[in-house]
């Protein structure tokens, strides 16, 4: 850090900077738009479901933003085409689960019974370690081979966690387990204990009583569980800010500029005396640790994890779509891409589909063949809106193709990315912070 | 990449990874012999019947030929169009569904409702036994289905190329790869939309459809059909590539694109032929894979894709013979690895072999001849 950057920006300054360049404003604006549309879609169902839907949308937006930020470090900054994100997330979540779970649980596999923070750090460390093992040999490969290797690794991780033999082996040797295909229950969320003593539903803490009394069932009438989940969403928002600040600062450091140099031309970076291999290994490990943390914050908060529906390669592609929509290389773009992907492409279509379905006055044919055979546009639309899930993926695919055709640089691409240590444009405006 | 060293004559000192891999393979082979002989020395050896080994090898060969058949197209698009096509697995699914739809119609048109037949039992209440599609009872239907799978998938592959890949011909391999992930999503979920998400059985049953072979091996009629069909298609492909002008042009394109263009090879026509042949073979392999597994689900090709990649990489990208051989190796690894490791790891073992080959010999085990 010493030779290049003038003075290390404080975290607050980076935030203010973001707001000034209206990045934060952009994110809040998007979120506001999403909220307005979501409210319009559900306001007739009452306050409870509006608040609940907004929570779901914000939660998904933020976890995708976290994952997209982590992937952006690999793909956007360094040009490492890692399509094994799901695997690294699984490693983080499972390690956290094993470290924190009680050694003698009522149901599910036993663990080490250590405190939650230890578990989170262990999860990140393990994800970084697996990243190291993957990176050591694989980083020498061409980008497309590297992609296939990381995809293979993520599948090997998933199949291993899925395997009952591996579970039995762990139980016999270390007396811990993964739960195999049945999955593993996650430790209870500490946010819940902020509101409820010991997490028990009928025993609120002082803070709990205050919140439940004003906004919850004793006041405005929002379900208490939704309020607790909202509190967790604020924790996630905090983590998004931490990720953002960390990655922004990393990107502006000499290390970050080396990353971008590697992305643009590896040979040149190598010739200029940068230790390309070492830098790549480091950045791969950092990114994997962040992916592990994102996985923990996401899946670790959802009660139960199991390898097969949750950590399929499709998850990785979702996160990729988020990064690509936002624009690879831009952290704000990643946050924005995460939010847009989760709301407009992931959760939005099914909500809109079910609202549309209610407006169509026709019976739903049981299958596509019946829908076609009915020769009635109404019935066909009924089938389409009832089966919106596959169509939503078709839309996702079309968006991805469209982005690659028309705007491969993403929504926020086309911005000028400063490679210099000091902001050159600021200097011309008179400069308030130059030496 | 700039950091890789050029290949020299490998010695143990220069390539310790290869030495370890060879040592490991030798150990496994010695262990296999010990197991067959019934010798047991600590963790080494054990008991293994010849019947089990021969049936593992045979099953591996059958599934390997299907994977290899699918791999030919992937290898061709990889070398001629220069990108890893992630939508190839879903072309395999398309062949499975459309081919079996046609096969069902030929087998049972008039007896069962057309909608149920065309959607491969997605609609209506028809059991596989009612349709009774089986190579011994309805050979014509099975044959027509295979041809339909080839033709329809080839046309779809061509249409997808015109719509999605043609506008980005000059872009980088990674851009095309990402676009192909989008195409994969579109195709896979249109299949789900049309045919439904339910996984279901397709083939009927026929008494005495299995034949006994030496070494305690039993072979069923569908496995034999698959081997014959796959080998025929592979031979046809070999003929097209080696003996026709089109094949020469394709090999030239994959060898050196610029040189091929200078000599006046019509690039777009070669690309179209690549999609037709590669897509058609993918469709045929999907059809045969369903014949082998006797069930069909909307994402079966996607789930197979990584194994197909493994086969192509193993054989060396660009070589169709490599893809076939790689497919057989992957198939045999898939089935025989259960001798040493639990069966929930056999897919992982195939991926591990793929990763090892990529790391130690990225040009493929057969030397990476990128022509033909």
Burial A276-291 (b: 16+ CB within 10 A, else e): beebbbbbbbbbbbbb
Do B214 and B288 share a structural domain?
A: yes
pLDDT given at position B1: 37
Q: What is the pLDDT of residues B162-172, one digit of tens each?
A: 999 988 888 88
Subunit contact A400:B182, Cβ cutoff 8 A: yes
Stronger pLDDT, A314 or A108, i.e. the higher one: A314
CA distance A357 to A386: 6
Q: Is the pLDDT of residue A185 over 70?
A: yes
Q: Is the dihedral of CA A198, A201, A203, A205 positive or negative?
A: positive
Subunit contact B123:A369, Cβ cutoff 8 A: yes
Helix, strand or coil for residue A304? strand
Which chain A residues contact residue B183 at CB under 8 A? 397, 401
CATH code, domain carrying B117: 1.10.3470
Task: Give the range of the structural domain holding residue B42, as residue numbers without chain letter.
Answer: 13-48
pLDDT given at position A18: 62
Question: What radius of gyration, in Å, describes the C-alpha atoms of chain A?
Answer: 23
Do B84 and B215 share a structural domain?
A: yes
A120: left (phi over 0), alpha (psi -120 to 50) or beta: alpha
Can you give the pTM of this predicted structure?
A: 0.84
pLDDT-derived band at A230 (thresholds 50, 70, 90) equals: confident
Q: Is the pLDDT of residue B281 over 90?
A: yes
pLDDT given at position A423: 55
> Which one of A350, A369, A392 makes the best mutation probe of the B interface by having the most chain B beta carbons within 10 Å?
A369
Q: What is the pLDDT of residues B294-325, one digit of tens each?
A: 889 888 999 899 889 888 888 888 788 888 99
CA distance B331 to B320: 16
Do B155 and B23 share a structural domain?
A: no
Q: What is the pLDDT of residues A268-295, one digit of tens each?
A: 888 888 888 888 888 899 999 999 999 9
For helices B50-81 and B300-315, give the axis angle rounded to 10 degrees.
80
- The answer to whether position B371 is within a domain reads no
Stronger pLDDT, A45 or B289, i.e. the higher one: B289
* Most distant pair of Cα atoms in chain B: their distance: 70
Stronger pLDDT, B204 or B142, i.e. the higher one: B142
pLDDT given at position A421: 52
Do B35 and B143 share a structural domain?
A: no
pLDDT given at position B227: 92
Which chain A residues contact residue B5 at CB under 8 A? none
Do B186 and B311 share a structural domain?
A: yes
Q: How far is CA A208 from CA A47, A55, A197, A223, A285, in A?
A: 20, 18, 9, 12, 39
Q: How far is CA A228 from CA A74, A111, A118, A210, A309, in A?
A: 34, 27, 24, 13, 26
DSSP letters, B118-150, are HTTTSSSS--HHHH---TTT-HHHHHHHHHHHH
Stronger pLDDT, B123 or B201, i.e. the higher one: B201
pLDDT given at position B212: 75
Subunit contact A394:B186, Cβ cutoff 8 A: yes
Which ipTM value was assigned to this complex?
0.84
Q: Is the pLDDT of residue B217 over 70?
A: yes
Beta-sheet strands, E only, within B225-296: 295-296
Q: Find, in chain B, the residue whose alpha carbon is nearest to that of A79.
A: B174
Asked if residues A178 and A167 have their Cβ atoms less than 8 Å apart, the reply is yes
What are phi and psi for residue B295, nearest 5 degrees?
-135, 160
Which chain B residues contact residue A341 at CB under 8 A? none
Do B293 and B144 share a structural domain?
A: yes
Query: Looking at residues B198-218, what average pLDDT do you find?
Result: 78
pLDDT given at position B110: 77
User: How does DSSP classify residue B42?
Assistant: T
pLDDT given at position B369: 52
Do B119 and B33 share a structural domain?
A: no
Do B184 and B39 share a structural domain?
A: no
Stronger pLDDT, B161 or A223, i.e. the higher one: B161
> Which one of B358, B360, B364 makes the best mutation probe of the A interface by having the most chain A beta carbons within 10 Å?
B358
Asked if residues A184 and A108 have their Cβ atoms less than 8 Å apart, the reply is yes
pLDDT given at position A1: 38
Range in A293-302, B38-47, B75-84, B219-228 the model is least confident about: B38-47
Of B185, B351, B359, the CB nearest to A394: B185
> Which one of B165, B169, B181 makes the best mutation probe of the A interface by having the most chain A beta carbons within 10 Å?
B181
- The answer to whether position B4 is within a domain reads no
How many domains does chain B fold into? 2
- The answer to whether position B181 is within a domain reads yes
Q: Find, in chain B, the residue whose alpha carbon is nearest to that of A317.
A: B181
Mean pLDDT score of chain B:
84
Do B104 and B131 share a structural domain?
A: yes
Tokens 């010739």 found at = A271
- The answer to whether position B146 is within a domain reads yes
- The answer to whether position B218 is within a domain reads yes
Which chain A residues contact residue B313 at CB under 8 A? 145, 148
Do B85 and B69 share a structural domain?
A: yes
Q: Is the pLDDT of residue A427 over 70?
A: no
Do B247 and B236 share a structural domain?
A: yes
pLDDT-derived band at A15 (thresholds 50, 70, 90) equals: low
Q: What is the pLDDT of residues B11-53, one digit of tens each?
A: 556 677 778 888 888 888 888 877 777 777 766 667 777 778 8
Domain ranges of chain A: 47-312
B16: left (phi over 0), alpha (psi -120 to 50) or beta: alpha
For residue A273, count CB atoms less than 10 angstroms from its CB and return exposed for 0-12, middle for 13-18, buried for 19 or more.
exposed
Give the helix/strand (H/E) hosting B211: strand B210-213
């Amino acid at each position: 850090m010493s030779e290049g950057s003038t003075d290390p920006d404080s975290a607050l300054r980076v935030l203010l900077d973001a707001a000034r360049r209206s990045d934060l404003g952009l994110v809040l604006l998007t979120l506001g738009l999403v909220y307005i549309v979501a409210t319009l879609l559900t306001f007739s169902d009452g306050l409870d479901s509006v608040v609940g839907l907004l929570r779901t949308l914000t939660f998904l937006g933020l976890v995708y933003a976290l994952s997209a930020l982590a992937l952006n470090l690999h793909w956007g900054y360094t040009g490492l085409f890692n399509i094994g994100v799901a695997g690294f997330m699984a490693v983080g979540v499972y390690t956290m689960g094993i470290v924190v779970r009680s050694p003698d649980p009522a149901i599910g596999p036993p663990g080490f019974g250590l405190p939650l923070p230890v578990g989170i750090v262990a999860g990140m460390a393990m994800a970084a370690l697996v990243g190291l093992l993957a990176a050591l040999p694989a980083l020498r490969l061409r980008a497309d081979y590297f992609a296939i290797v990381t995809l293979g690794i993520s599948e090997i991780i998933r199949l291993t966690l899925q395997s009952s033999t591996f579970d039995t082996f762990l139980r016999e040797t270390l007396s811990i387990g993964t739960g195999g295909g049945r999955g593993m229950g996650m430790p209870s969320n500490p946010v819940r204990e902020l509101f409820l003593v010991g997490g028990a539903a009928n025993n609120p803490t002082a803070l709990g009583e205050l919140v439940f009394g004003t906004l919850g069932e004793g006041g405005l009438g929002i379900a208490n569980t939704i309020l607790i989940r909202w509190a967790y969403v604020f924790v996630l928002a905090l983590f998004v800010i931490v990720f953002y600040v960390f990655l922004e600062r990393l990107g502006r450091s000499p290390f970050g500029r080396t990353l971008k140099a590697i992305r643009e031309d590896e040979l040149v970076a190598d010739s200029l005396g940068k230790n390309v291999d070492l830098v790549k290994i480091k950045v791969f490990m950092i990114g994997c640790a962040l992916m592990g943390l994102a996985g923990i914050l996401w899946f670790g908060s959802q009660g139960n994890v199991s390898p097969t529906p949750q950590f399929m390669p499709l998850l990785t592609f979702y996160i990729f779509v988020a990064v690509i929509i936002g624009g690879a290389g831009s952290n704000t773009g990643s946050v924005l891409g995460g939010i847009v992907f989760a709301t407009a492409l992931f959760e939005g279509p099914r909500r809109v589909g079910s609202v549309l379905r209610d407006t169509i006055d026709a019976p739903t044919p049981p299958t596509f063949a019946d829908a076609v055979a009915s020769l009635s546009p109404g019935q066909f639309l009924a089938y389409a809106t009832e089966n919106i899930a596959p169509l939503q993926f078709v839309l996702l695919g079309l968006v991805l193709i469209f982005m690659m055709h028309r705007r491969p640089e993403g929504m926020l691409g086309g911005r000028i990315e400063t490679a210099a240590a000091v902001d050159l444009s600021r200097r011309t405006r008179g400069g308030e912070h130059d030496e | 990449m700039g950091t890789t060293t050029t290949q020299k004559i490998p010695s143990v000192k220069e390539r310790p990874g290869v030495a370890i891999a060879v040592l490991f393979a030798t150990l496994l082979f010695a262990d296999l012999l010990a197991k067959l002989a019934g010798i047991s020395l600590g963790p080494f050896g054990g008991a293994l019947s010849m019947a089990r080994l021969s049936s593992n090898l045979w099953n591996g060969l059958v599934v390997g030929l299907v994977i290899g058949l699918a791999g030919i197209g992937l290898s061709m698009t990889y070398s001629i169009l220069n990108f890893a096509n992630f939508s190839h697995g879903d072309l395999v699914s398309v062949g499975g569904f459309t081919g079996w739809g046609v096969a069902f119609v030929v087998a049972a048109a008039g007896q069962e409702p057309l909608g149920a037949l065309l959607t491969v039992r997605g609609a209506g209440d028809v059991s596989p036994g009612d349709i009774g599609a089986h190579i011994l009872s309805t050979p014509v239907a099975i044959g027509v289905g295979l041809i339909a799978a080839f033709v329809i998938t080839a046309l779809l592959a061509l249409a997808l190329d015109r719509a999605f890949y043609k506008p980005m011909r000059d872009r980088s391999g990674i851009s095309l790869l990402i676009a192909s992930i989008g195409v994969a999503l579109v195709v896979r979920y249109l299949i789900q939309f049309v045919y439904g998400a339910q996984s279901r059985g397709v083939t009927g049953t026929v008494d005495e459809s299995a034949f006994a072979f030496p070494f305690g091996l039993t072979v069923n009629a569908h496995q034999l059909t698959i081997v014959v069909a796959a080998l025929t298609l592979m031979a046809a492909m070999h003929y097209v590539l080696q003996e026709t002008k089109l094949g020469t042009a394709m090999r030239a394109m994959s060898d050196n694109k610029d040189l091929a263009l200078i000599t006046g090879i019509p690039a777009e026509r070669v690309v179209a032929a690549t999609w037709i042949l590669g897509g058609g073979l993918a469709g045929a392999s999907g059809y045969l894979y369903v014949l082998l597994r006797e069930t069909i689900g909307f994402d079966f090709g996607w789930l197979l894709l990584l194994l197909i990649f493994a086969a192509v990489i193993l054989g060396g990208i660009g070589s169709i013979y490599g893809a076939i051989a790689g497919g057989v190796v992957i198939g045999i690894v898939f089935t025989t690895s259960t001798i040493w490791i639990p069966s929930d790891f056999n897919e992982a073992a195939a991926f591990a072999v793929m990763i090892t080959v990529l790391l130690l010999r990225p040009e493929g085990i057969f030397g990476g001849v990128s022509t033909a």
